[in-house]
Amino acid sequence: MTGLQRAGRWVGEHLVLAAGLLVLVYMFVPIAVVMLMSFNDNSESRNVYAFRDFTWSNWANPCRPDGMCEAVVRSIEIGLLATLVATLLGSLAAFALVRHDFIGRSVANTVIFLPMASPEIVMGSSLLALFVAGGFGGRLGFVTIFIAHVMFCLSFVIVTVKARLSGLDQNLEQAAMDLYASEWTTFWRVTFPLVFPGVAAAALLSFSLSFDDFIITNLNAGQTVTFPMFVWGVAQRGIPMQVNVVGTVMFLISLFLVVTNMLVTRKRVAAT
Amino acid sequence: MSLAADNGRSLRLTALTKEFATFTAVRSLDLEVPAGTFFALLGPSGCGKTTTLRMVAGLEVPTSGTIHLGDDEITYEKPYRRPVNTVFQNYALFPHLDIHENVAFGLRRRKVKDVDQQVKEMLALVELESQAKKKPPQMSGGQQQRVALARALINRPEVLLLDEPLGALDLKLRRSMQIELKRIQTEVGLTFVHVTHDQEEAMTMADTIAVMNGGVIEQMGSPAELYENPRTTFVANFLGQSNLIPGSVTSAEGDVVRVDMHGTQVSIPADRAHTRSGDGWVGIRPEKVLIAPAGEPIDAPGNHMTGGVITDVSFVGVSTQYLVMMPWGQELMAFEQNTGRRAVLDKGTKVDVSWRPEFAFLLPASQDVNAGVLEEV
């Protein structure tokens, strides 16, 4: 009896842990596969997705597949540019929505959620129609992708910065003005440092959204090929193992950013 | 260290008005705060005291009227161009800066030299030298309050504004901070304008109190003046407690006004009678009301009333608070010091009450007898 009870308690104590671990495994198996496959030597194989031999060659020659590195560079360029513009515009919009009372503010607050809520295929095709109607037909490419990415990143930036901004005590700015800081100084000494974490989070989110986007991009890209489009294209013939190298590198970069952010926050919390 | 500005200038508000979309917060306010005084704006929430303060700080633009500091008009001056600093109600310390940098903020903005030394001295004044490297959220409420004070004081403003600075502290801490604030004000000799709804806080610290209600000043004067000779029922009730008994003036000659109060003739000094004809409220503070078992002599000439019955007795240590039902159906409050001269009277005891005429005051009957009565009382 006691043995059974003990066993029951053991299960009770460990079941949650086990379930949690299983969920983590479920989430991380795809990433582990990507990492593993980046070391796969499949040159002799017909089945490109089977792991045959360990090799460093994919890492040594990441740009071997035709057009892949160009696509990666293009995606990064578009991502950075779209992030910069969306973060700037979106932050300004967030300030306007939080700080200024104007006619149509509540409508604007609702409408900014629409791009997040609408299906990408709808937005992508309507953008395409818009571009063609606007005379971009035949000239789709870098610029149209960039415009599309800024559009769908904006909502996320506005929502993220707004959340941070509405949590900011406006008394702090008044206190700064009371202590001889002009509007400009108040913004850079008090408002911006306090809002910055929100802006940074918005920028990171924008970049990953842009880098990752396939549907809207594919519809508006013309002959231009971004990294997700490249992967989609080659997937029909079999994905070259170097794609896994890029995947692993991107994963490591995001991991690095997340860990750094955590350490900085922890340091800040420890200091407070 | 002395921060006193040699050229101390008085703060003068003239016909100052602030209207918001739906209500008027401050109505044509006239006020002069002499340099170097501790001035309190006292009133219930929504009386316009904080709006007044914010207009002086420049955080709110008046609808009309002017604000002068000495001969300079500062009505529309930007907050950062006024020699005025504020201690905010929630302190508004910058959470991303440490205590040292919080206190240094104003000096750095004005490119003052020798900032570190001044900050050290200021932190010493508020007894926080050892906390300079901490961030505001790491500190207790009382410490944050002192940082907020230091951050404003270090700029040697001509006027220091305090917006309910002790509101967030618990009672015990509030008492010690009151004494502390008063000490610092005396030490630095600056003009303090203090906004509060706590009458005890205002009386403890201020040289002059202006009682505000509904956007106007009801009465202004020293704490003792306001307490002993209130001019309105609002002041009589808001500042301490008062017995207000209906009566009508029978004669007003020389320096005495006589009032018939339910058949008893009472006399009131003319300078304490704020009406000289018709009906009025006879006011007397509870601790000025003397009581004794019926028939026993009371040490108070004049204004003697009989036929009271004790309906409630609360023993509060230093004093005993009685409620006495008078023959005309009104309960009067009477507070008696527990000197031990006589045992505490029991509920139901028949008593006489009396007070010295010089302590009573007379207010016009047109005023609301319940104005300024605190809800929880």
What does the pLDDT look like over B324-358, one tens digit per residue?
Answer: 999 998 999 999 998 888 888 899 999 999 888 88
Which residues are CB-neighbours of B63 under 8 A, at least 6 positions away? B17, B18, B19
DSSP-based three-state secondary structure for B284: strand
CB contacts, 8 Å: B74 with chain A: none
Q: What are phi and psi of B17, to 5 degrees?
A: -135, 140
- Cα pseudo-dihedral A48, A49, A50, A51, rounded to 10: 100
CA nearest to A172 within chain B: B92
Q: Are strands B159-163 and B84-87 parallel, antiparallel or unpaired?
A: parallel
Within-domain flag for B22: yes
Nearest C-alpha neighbor of B242 from the set B285, B199, B272, B290 = B285
Q: Which of B178, B200, B228 is the last residue of a domain?
A: B228
Within-domain flag for B372: no
Which of A169, A171, A181 comes nearest B109 by C-beta?
A181
Tokens of B225: 């003046």
Within-domain flag for B105: yes
B interface with A, Cβ–Cβ < 8 A, is 57-59, 78-80, 84-86, 88, 90, 92-96, 105-106, 109-110, 135, 137-138, 151-152, 155
Mean pLDDT value across residues A26-34: 92
- For residue range B132-172, list pLDDT tens digits in order: 999 999 898 889 988 999 999 999 899 999 998 887 778 88
CB contacts, 8 Å: A172 with chain B: 92, 94-95
B340: domain CATH number? 2.40.50.140
CB contacts, 8 Å: A178 with chain B: 57-59, 79-80, 84-86, 152
CA distances from A54 to A30, A37, A46, A93, B368 (A): 19, 9, 17, 51, 93
* ipTM tops the 0.85 cut: no
User: What's the confidence (pLDDT) of residue A237?
Assistant: 81
Question: Does the distance separating the beta carbons of A169 and B105 come in below 8 Å?
Answer: no
Measured distance CA(B108)–CA(A185) in Å, rounded: 11
Q: Can you give the residue range of the structural domain that contains B103?
A: 11-228
Confidence of residue B232 (pLDDT cuts 50, 70, 90): very high
Confidence of residue A64 (pLDDT cuts 50, 70, 90): confident
User: What's the confidence (pLDDT) of residue A55?
Assistant: 86
Confidence of residue A41 (pLDDT cuts 50, 70, 90): confident
Q: Are residues B76 and B106 in the same domain?
A: yes
Question: Does the distance separating the beta carbons of A171 and B94 come in below 8 Å?
Answer: no
Tokens of A203: 């920028």
Measured distance CA(B190)–CA(B166) in Å, rounded: 19
Which of A179, A194, A272 comes nearest B109 by C-beta?
A179
Q: Are residues B223 and B309 in the same domain?
A: no
User: What's the confidence (pLDDT) of residue B343?
Assistant: 84
- Look at chain B and report how many structural domains it folds into: 2
Q: Are residues B223 and B246 in the same domain?
A: no
User: What's the confidence (pLDDT) of residue A5?
Assistant: 85
Within-domain flag for B234: no
User: What's the confidence (pLDDT) of residue B3?
Assistant: 45
Question: Does the distance separating the beta carbons of B138 and A177 come in below 8 Å?
Answer: no
Q: Which amino acid is at B151?
A: R
Q: Which of B196, B228, B260 is the last residue of a domain?
A: B228
Mean pLDDT value across residues A193-212: 92
Closest Cα in chain A, distance from residue B163 (Å) = 12
Q: Are residues B213 and B323 in the same domain?
A: no
Under a CB-based contact definition with an 8 Å cutoff, are residues A186 and B108 in contact?
A: no
Measured distance CA(B243)–CA(B331) in Å, rounded: 9
Which domains, from first to last, does chain A contain? Answer: 2-59 (no CATH), 66-239 (1.10.3720.10)
Q: Are residues B250 and B141 in the same domain?
A: no
Nearest C-alpha neighbor of B97 from the set A200, A169, A271 = A271
Count of residues making up chain B: 377
Q: Are residues B35 and B141 in the same domain?
A: yes
Which of A180, A189, A272 comes nearest B135 by C-beta?
A272
DSSP-based three-state secondary structure for B89: coil
Q: Are residues B76 and B145 in the same domain?
A: yes
DSSP result, A124-166: HHHHHHHHIIIIITT--SHHHHHHHHHHHHHHHHHHHHHHHHH
For residue A42, pLDDT beyond 80: no
Q: Which amino acid is at B280?
A: G
Confidence of residue A176 (pLDDT cuts 50, 70, 90): very high
Measured distance CA(B326)–CA(B336) in Å, rounded: 18
Closest Cα in chain B, distance from residue A176 (Å) = 8
User: What's the confidence (pLDDT) of residue A270?
Assistant: 59
- Cα pseudo-dihedral A209, A210, A213, A216, rounded to 10: 120
Measured distance CA(B252)–CA(B265) in Å, rounded: 13
Is A50 touching B (CB cutoff 8 A)? no
Q: Are residues B212 and B72 in the same domain?
A: yes
Least confident of A152-161, B29-38, B208-217, B261-270: B261-270
Tokens of B159: 């006027």
User: What's the confidence (pLDDT) of residue B88?
Assistant: 92
Q: Are residues B67 and B174 in the same domain?
A: yes
DSSP-based three-state secondary structure for A107: helix
HEC readout, B192-241: EEEEECCHHHHHHHCCEEEEEECCEEEEEECHHHHHHCCCCHHHHHHCCC
Average pLDDT, chain B: 89
Kindly provide the residue ranges of all beta strands, DSSP E only, lying in chain B, ordered along the sequence. 11-19, 24-33, 38-42, 64-69, 72-73, 84-87, 159-163, 191-196, 208-213, 216-221, 243-253, 256-261, 264-269, 279-284, 290-293, 304-315, 319-325, 331-337, 350-354, 361-364
Closest Cα in chain B, distance from residue A242 (Å) = 44
- For residue range B252-287, list pLDDT tens digits in order: 888 889 999 888 888 899 999 998 888 999 999 999
Least confident of A160-164, B69-73, B165-169: B165-169
For residue B41, pLDDT beyond 90: yes
Nearest C-alpha neighbor of B202 from the set B47, B338, B57, B362 = B47
B126: domain CATH number? 3.40.50.300
Under a CB-based contact definition with an 8 Å cutoff, are residues B160 and B87 in contact?
A: yes
Within-domain flag for B369: no
Mean pLDDT value across residues A129-145: 89
Biggest CA-to-CA distance, chain A? 81
Which of B59, B84, B109 comes nearest A174 by C-beta?
B59
Angle at CA of residue A31, ends A26 and A34, nearest 5°: 135
Question: Does the distance separating the beta carbons of A169 and B59 come in below 8 Å?
Answer: no
Which of B92, B137, B155 comes nearest A272 by C-beta?
B137
Tokens of A150: 């800024």
CB contacts, 8 Å: A174 with chain B: 59, 79, 88, 92
Q: Are residues B187 and B321 in the same domain?
A: no
Q: Which candidate in A169, A170, A178 is best for mutational testing of the B interface (most B CBs within 10 A)?
A: A178
Q: Are residues B35 and B180 in the same domain?
A: yes
User: What's the confidence (pLDDT) of residue B1?
Assistant: 38
Cα-Cα end-to-end distance for chain B: 44
Tokens of B212: 């505000």
DSSP-based three-state secondary structure for B71: coil
Within-domain flag for B46: yes
User: What's the confidence (pLDDT) of residue B377?
Assistant: 37
Is A178 touching B (CB cutoff 8 A)? yes
For residue A199, pLDDT beyond 50: yes
Please give the interface size between A and B, counted as residue pairs whose CB atoms are below 8 Å apart. 63
Distance, C-alpha B349 to centroid of its chain: 36
Question: Does the distance separating the beta carbons of B78 and A177 come in below 8 Å?
Answer: yes
CA distances from A128 to A135, A136, A138, A204, B46 (A): 11, 9, 11, 26, 57
Q: Are residues B334 and B213 in the same domain?
A: no
- Cα pseudo-dihedral B239, B243, B248, B253, rounded to 10: -60
Within-domain flag for B1: no
Under a CB-based contact definition with an 8 Å cutoff, are residues A218 and A34 in contact?
A: no
Q: Which tops the pLDDT comparison, A265 or B109?
A: B109
Mean pLDDT value across residues A114-124: 91
Closest Cα in chain A, distance from residue B59 (Å) = 7
For chain B, percent of residues with pLDDT exceeding 90: 58
Within-domain flag for B371: no
Q: Which of B228, B263, B282 is the last residue of a domain?
A: B228
Q: Which tops the pLDDT comparison, B8 or B51?
A: B51
Mean pLDDT value across residues B86-113: 93
CB contacts, 8 Å: B94 with chain A: 172, 175-176, 190
